[in-house]
Structure 1
Amino acid sequence: MTKAAPDPRAVREASLDELARLGLPLPPAAFPLVWEPGDTVELRPTAELEARAAVLHVVVARCFGMPTEAAMSWLLGSHLVELVTAPEWQFVIGAKGDHRSFVLHHDAVFALAWLLGLSRHLDPTVPPDDALMVQMPDLPAGETFASWRSRSLVAVRDPAEAAVLLDLYYCLDWAFQESEQIGRALPGEVDSNAIGQRRWALEWAVIFTGPYHDGPPEWEEVDLSV
């Protein structure tokens, strides 16, 4: 569902108010907006959100001991292999790459679960809880992707609500990194790496259309440098 994006300046004011409430530094005045007045917003199709969450769930499971053969078999049986990125595939089949970075994808799954309505919150001070694992495919039990989709009570978030949270996480990403660089205390149990993973998922999932936006990026093309 495509709809008008909310007023970006009002959203930004709310994001900065939240940063101040959390005791975080505020980004500079020239910090760019995520979208412009008049843009429209939508989410990627539900099936794409579910598939990306499932693939990342398998990648994280490999980090915690899921055998290579089991992971490959699950992805093949779920017809998701073509949606696995090259770095993810290298890690799944040969444990190649930065193990720690793949572990961090648990927070990207958390953000995708929120978008799908499977998680009630995306509180930047709280790590994902054990309930998240229950909401995802039961890999040890051999639950298939199709079976998981059938039992999941998906209620996809409103695109405007997702845009608001994306703007907050865009600001949080800067604020958490700045806090860590200057030695300032963070407001909870979450660090900048986790915030960045959640922003990554939101940046990929939320699609804006307007004169200053390119087409939606692939997962590995999401730019978190700004």
Structure 2
Amino acid sequence: MASNHSVKTALNAGIQHEEHHDHPDIEEMRTFGFWIYLMTDVLIFGTFFAAYIVLRGNTNGGPGPSELFELNGIIVSTFLLLASSYTCGLAVLAMNKGRKRALIGWLAFTAMLGAAFIGLEINEFAHLVNEGATMGTSAFLSAFYTLVGTHGLHVCIGLIWMAAVIRQLASKGITPVMKRKVHTISLFWHFLDVVWIFVFTVVYLMGVS
């Protein structure tokens, strides 16, 4: 009887092992899906960067980068976004230590820095429009608004996403699912910081030099 019980136990374990391989963990599939999405974003931004580099000299007789861009404000924006990447990293460290309140607090602070970044970007766009530098003024400005605006849109999506994660953390706590969600939004946020470094270098630094 004991032998039969051992055989049944082994068979059940084998079946469960096979089922595990036939049906991959849903969290792993979601993480894999996010990586695929991130790769498509890399292609999108790569295309916009290429278009901007090609079109930045086509000002149609209007103002160019050196006449429009005010580097001081952009440096402040860059500092805010890079600081938000640091606080996002602190949030992940707090999560790994099981500190729920610290995790929520650092995510909220990250969102505040991101919102300040968006506020400065909106202010920059409004200033440019008041100067007559609209999206339809030249090919250069069309490429500029498309590239920088797309990045800003992604930051806004990240802020909404982060707010949703904070709300879920407050109600559910640090569960395996929530850990995956925090890691995912953290990766997305760091990705936006890397893209911004390229924007800062290619659009603004090269534009005023």
Q: Where on the TM-score scale, by shorter chain, does this alignment land: which range? A: under 0.3
More helix by share: 2
TM-score (norm 1): 0.24
Give the number of the structure whose alpha-carbon radius of gyration is greater: 2
TM-score by length of 2: 0.25
Higher strand share: 1
